[in-house]
Structure 1
Amino acid sequence: MKTVETVSAAQEAVKPNAEWGSDAIVDFLKATAVPWIALNPGASYRGLHDSMVNYAGNDAPGMLVCLHEEHAVAIAHGWSKITGTPMAVALHSNVGLMHASMAIYNAWCDRIPMLIIGATGPLDAAARRPWIDWIHTASDQPAIVRNFVKWDDTPTSVPATLESLARAWDITRTSPKAPTYVVMDAAVQEERLIGTVRMPQVSRGPNVDQPSASRQSLDRAAALLSTAHRPVILAGPGNRDEASWERRIRLAEALGARVITDLKAGIMFPMTHPAHVAGSGFFLGGDGKDALQNADVVLDLNWIDLAGTLKQAGVQDIPVVSATLDPLLANGWSKDHQARPETTVWLPAAPDDAVESLLDRLPAGEPLESRAQMFGPLPVDAESITLSTLVKVLQLNLADENPTFARLPLGWDGDSWAFDQPLSFLGYDGGGGIGSGPGMAVGAALALKETDRLPVSVLGDGDYLMGVQALWTAANQKIPMLVVVANNRAYFNDVVHQERVANIRNRDVSRKWIGQQIDDPAPDLAGLARAQGLVGYGPITDVEELNDVMATAVAQVRSGASVVVDVVIDPGYSPAMSAGLTRESKDGNENDDN
């Protein structure tokens, strides 16, 4: 994984050999040291494209060609989940932005930094070509995504464009992080430079200066936590570097706290640590509910849906220390801010900065040894493959590897794999936008390309089919990765919902599959991978064959291949996921149809 060291760029003019507006824009991108720009080609930024190729030699940033704008954003999303830094994305006018909007919403909900460069036909109507420039120009193009980007602008000159890009670069890297969007006028890109054009001063890599909590609030939080007898830490999204990981462990040991993790956030605390509460999932599990009910203080480290989680646990009137900057991003349009939590002390800081400050105020705890991880035997005599069977096959074949799971399906049992490193598992996509998985898998694998980690993504078949063309970029860029499709040949999440509704209404549950199955004919998922230049295996329905194929697939990934394995599994969810999908009736009672 390559991360860019934070350094200040010199304040200087655009390079002397720059001739066009788009040359200056490329000089700005070089000043940020962003390594890649993901794009689907479009005429609205033909000037920028020429400058990247003929002025900059397609190097730093290099172009990642994608087959759809939504995939370009998803790839940048996956990249940032690993690196913590923004990738650049270029979108073709209003039509490209509309294509990309779902993926931008995912990145917004997941608080991902991203420098998105849009483009438009000439804003000066007299400069537009007939027909095409008119339908690809909008009076306020960013309005399409303004409610789920952190900042946007539509500058109309080369100096203004450079300043807007510099501002967008600063804002996207400042917590709370989210994508920013700057539109480049096609006429500005193709404008010949006259005289000296000043380059804004920018820094590279992570932004050093971030919002922080006051000394008084930190003192109050430390006093409250240090007197607790049964504290619980809710470990939400945070940094993935080793230093932050170790500080979270030290804090839990200093407090004698139990720690609950969330599969949506990825792994933020070792599941092998004795403090970790079993049952990590996309919803709160039974053990987590018990831990919260017995807690006397809760420390929220940027937890996703704090109020909803406490409500699910039936916990009220408990002291809560909340370390998050998320309230600063709420805008009212999207409800991704969740229900309003009632907190005793709010620490307006990035969670890992709060952890570091709290450690300075607390005595050290006793280090605890990790628990061993045990794998069960492979059920080779099984008549069909379940998701738990697939997990065991992966465990056997990845036992000598160092895997990073970029994505896991909704049915994954959080206790089936003891993630114990900060890059073990990256979490979900933020917005629940089906189709994001393949692109995020490619982006994460690209970020891991020069490391010893083996990128693995376990995707549902619906997610895979909606985003499958993103995989072409992996083949094109020769990005090693393993994609395993847990293929239940249905939109099973909706099957579960239809079953619940039918039971509530005393209707025929057997008809829940109608309009939900991806079958008759079953799509050739491995064939879709092979058609794009990847290695594809499947559909696999036999456990012994699956074990053999998985061993071959892992070896091929280690040799540099991009591999897809289609595994046909029995539909089903983990207990925590099934419980989380239960909706309350109007009288407040749960409808349990199990």
Structure 2
Amino acid sequence: MYTTSSLFLHTLAQVGITHAFVNWGSDHPALLEDLERQRVDHGDTAVEIITCPNEMAALSAAQAFVQVTNTPAAVIVHVDVGTQALAGAIHNASRGKVPILVFAGASPSTVEGELKGSRNEWIHWMQDVPDQPAIVRQYMRFTAQINAPENVPHLVRRALQIATSEPKGPVYLWARREVLEKEIDESLFNTRTSLFRWPSIEPGALSPSAVNVIGDALAHANNPLIITSYIGRNPAAVAALEMLSRLMAIPIFVTCPSATNVSLSHPFFVGVSFLAPGTHTPLLSTADVILVIDAEVPWIPMNKDNQGNFERPSDDARIFVIDSGDPLKESIGMEHVAGVAELVCRASADVTLYQLLNSGRTGSATGFYTRSKTIQAVHDAFIADMRNAETLTSEPNVPYAPSRVFGALRTAVENKVPHPASTLYLNETISNYPLSWSHLHPDTPAGMLSSGGSSLGWALGAGIGAVLGGVNVGKGAGKVGYELVVSVVGDGTFMFGVPSSAFWMARRYETPFLTIVLNNGGWKSPKLSMMGVHPEGHGSKVTGNQLTVGFGPDMPDYAGIAVAATGGWAWGKRIAAGDPLEETMAEAVRIVVEERRCAIVECVLESI
């Protein structure tokens, strides 16, 4: 016997979805029944089911899976409450532009047994809301209700067509329990379904006039500058970006990155900023041509440097904005860069960059030789400052500085896993973002990811999804998956990540990853936000605990949480001032790589 649920699961498999991250509920009897039918008939399920005891962890794991594989995944949740429990992961998937199909059941609409699946539990009344998809609609690229089995293949394919077209992002389908239970004819189940006639939109290109204008501007610029945030999500664009930069001696500055956008060793890569005042490149204010390509926030107009000068382009600068899906940032209430740009273009980064490379202008760049020497010196100073910070030793009983922690971690990883393609960093360090993106910066594309959003709690679930995804598409030097996945988080981020669920999932599905917890005693970012508005106010003079952003004086045992959640399978250790940092990092990496167990290292930093 086949049902709508049979057809839905069958359709997911036919269109190429291999993994579903699920949290079951009372709306899913037909789905659970059909999964068991598949096991009886075929020995396994067509789509691999990953049981997730928390929806935030489920969607975070699915997001990282998609980020690694570049193919959509599914998430299945329970009615309105499961939809709500997706929490901030919805924001991350939307802002990160990650194509995920979210499916939720819904309470039955019949109450007297008129149809199979009618209401027979009290919660069916409690969980019936007037507009369930409204909970997430503004974050979704598409929402639709499955009303009958006949339109399941069409709705799934339309949802994925939209999800995988720029601007990419999550989609939401839902169905009531009676619809999921409806029996269907075998012919409907056996009808072939594919995405062959449902392609995503082809990448866009610059118009010929835009190529001429931008190409001429870059060729004749005295002080050009490229700013990007997430061009690294498009691997084909990274090589083109580095080539254009080399050929025309254009410095690249990265703001608020969510992917590895440029190799650390690239001679014209000049730094990273998360736009705290005084952290933008001085090249911004002197640039006469600025190419903003696949960037979230390239500068903040009101910010000033340490000398009191605005960190923004001059009024005479020629600014060009290019984005693959949303150059006007229509999903954001207010945006400033498009209002000062000469051209705003919707075009794929790789297509755009190769258009510029093939325009015949790269060989005539103004001031190439002098500029290349100057920019190379900026790059070399940037690298030298980082490496010096990694070697600084602390005074006795003074906690390790984040730079020292990152240096020890990077060295341990490189010693144990020498091939850079075999390691993936998942970065959710928040207040330590600028340092972590600089010091851990892999010298290879796709070596580091973050959520792309600002809702905390992605990195632990992402560890599971990244390991699964790496195996699924043959990442790593050996093409069998990553040797090492490293999630680097703050202590607050760790708590948001639902560690009991995430580490249980890691044990259940044998997805070992290394977690580094940077413990600064609470939520530093809210304190920094307060200091940004009230730098000398009452709150500036007190501790984080007094401000109620601290976790002290009695801190959680972060490593102990992971060990307990895995029944002792995970290994953990706490590092404080004077403890053997380098040796502990090396042991943690070894345990993950050799023993294939999760390891967690809590690093105690200076408290907020």
Superposition TM-score tier, normalisation by shorter sequence:
0.7 to 0.9
AA aligned opposite 2:275: F
SS class of match (1:28): helix
1:523 aligned partner: 556
Code of the residue aligned with 2:85 in structure 1: it is H
> Are residues 1:462 and 2:485 paired?
no
Residue 65 of structure 2 is aligned to residue 79 of structure 1: yes
Q: For residue 475 of structure 1, what is the aligned residue in structure 2?
A: 507
Question: Which whole-Å deviations, capped at 9, do the CAs of 1:477-506 have from their partners, x for residues lacking one?
Answer: 111211010111211222334455665445
Structure 2 unaligned residues grouped into runs of 5+? 113-117, 304-309, 472-479
Q: Would you say 1:301 and 2:293 are equivalent positions?
A: yes
Structure-1 separation of matches of 2:8 and 2:543: 57
State how far apart, in whole Å, the 2-side matches of 1:160 and 1:325 are: 31
- TM-superposed CA distance for 1:463, in Å, is 0.8
1:555 paired residue number: 590
CA distance in 1, matches of 2:106, 2:345: 41
Q: Match of 1:547, as an amino acid?
A: E
- In the alignment, which residue of structure 2 is the partner of 1:575? none
Aligned equivalents of 1:59, 1:267: Cα separation in 2? 35
TM-score by length of 1: 0.85
What does residue 324 of structure 1 align with? 323
Aligned pairs for 1:72-151 within 5 A: 72-124=58-110, 127-151=118-142
Distance 1:129 1:446 in 2: 38
The equivalent of 1:12 in structure 2 is: none
Cross-structure match for 1:281: 273
Q: For residue 513 of structure 1, what is the amino acid of its counterpart?
A: N
2:461 is the counterpart of 1:426: no
In structure 2, C-alpha distance between the alignment counterparts of 1:328 and 1:229, rounded to whole Å: 26
Q: Distance in 2 between matches of 1:184 and 1:81?
A: 27
1:592 match = none
Question: 2:475 matched to which residue of 1?
Answer: none
State yes or no: 1:510 paired with 2:542: yes
> Shift of the alpha carbon at 1:235?
1.8
Match of 2:427 among 407, 420, 429: 407
Could you tell me how far 1:61 is from its partner in structure 2? 1.9
How far residue 558 of structure 1 moved from its aligned partner, in angstroms, is: 0.6
Task: Check 1:545–1:296 CA distance in 2 against 1; reply closer, same or farther (3 A cut).
Answer: same
By how many angstroms is 1:518 displaced? Answer: 1.1
* Equivalent of 2:253 in 256, 260, 278: 260
Larger helix percent = 2
- Report what 1:385 is aligned to: 400
Where 1:183 maps in the other structure, the secondary structure is strand
- Equivalences for residues 183-222 of structure 1 within 5 A: 183-194=174-185, 196-197=187-188, 198-203=191-196, 207=200, 209-222=202-215
Moved more, 137-146 or 510-519: 510-519
Q: Which deviates the most, 84-93 or 356-365?
A: 356-365
Specify whether residues 204 and 546 from structure 1 end up closer, same or farther in structure 2 by C-alpha distance, changes over 3 A only.
farther
- Classify the secondary structure of the residue corresponding to 2:542: helix
For residues 536 and 25 of structure 1, what CA distance do their matches in structure 2 show?
40
Counterpart of 1:342 in structure 2 is 340
The alpha carbon displacement at 1:276 in A equals 0.7
Deviation at 1:240, TM superposition (A): 4.6
Aligned twin of 1:580: none
Provide the secondary structure at the position in 1 that maps to 2:238.
helix
Deviation at 1:41, TM superposition (A): 1.6
Unmatched 5+ residue regions in structure 1?
1-17, 573-594
Distance 1:282 1:335 in 2: 20
Worse overlay, 553-562 or 203-212: 203-212
1-structure distance, mates of 2:273, 2:483: 24
The 2-side partners of 1:341 and 1:543 are apart by 52
Would you say how many aligned residue pairs link Structure 1 and Structure 2? Answer: 552
Paired residue for 1:15? none
Deviates more, 1:373-382 or 1:70-79: 373-382
Structure 1 residue 207, shift from structure 2 partner: 4.2
The CA deviation at 1:238 is 2.6
Question: Residues 226-277 of structure 1, C-alpha deviation per residue, up to 9 Å, x if partnerless?
Answer: 2223211112213456543211111112332110113432320112211111
Contact 2:235–2:446 under 8 Å retained in 1? no
- Change in Cα spacing, 1:341 to 1:438, as seen in structure 2 (3 Å) is farther
The structure-2 alpha-carbon separation of the partners of 1:326 and 1:286, relative to structure 1 and needing over 3 Å to count, comes to farther
Aligned partners of 1:147, 1:508: CA distance in 2, in Å? 37
Q: Is contact 2:227-2:253 (8 Å) kept?
A: yes
Over the residues paired in the alignment, what is the CA RMSD in angstroms?
3.0
Q: Distance in 2 between matches of 1:44 and 1:108?
A: 26
**CA–CA separation in structure 2 for the residues paired with 1:288 and 1:357:** 29
Distance, in Å, in 1 between the alignment partners of 2:281 and 2:122 is 60
| Aligned position for 2:603 | 567
Match of 2:477 in 1: none
CA–CA separation in structure 1 for the residues paired with 2:148 and 2:572:
52
Q: Which amino acid aligns with 1:83?
A: T
Q: Which amino acid aligns with 2:602?
A: D
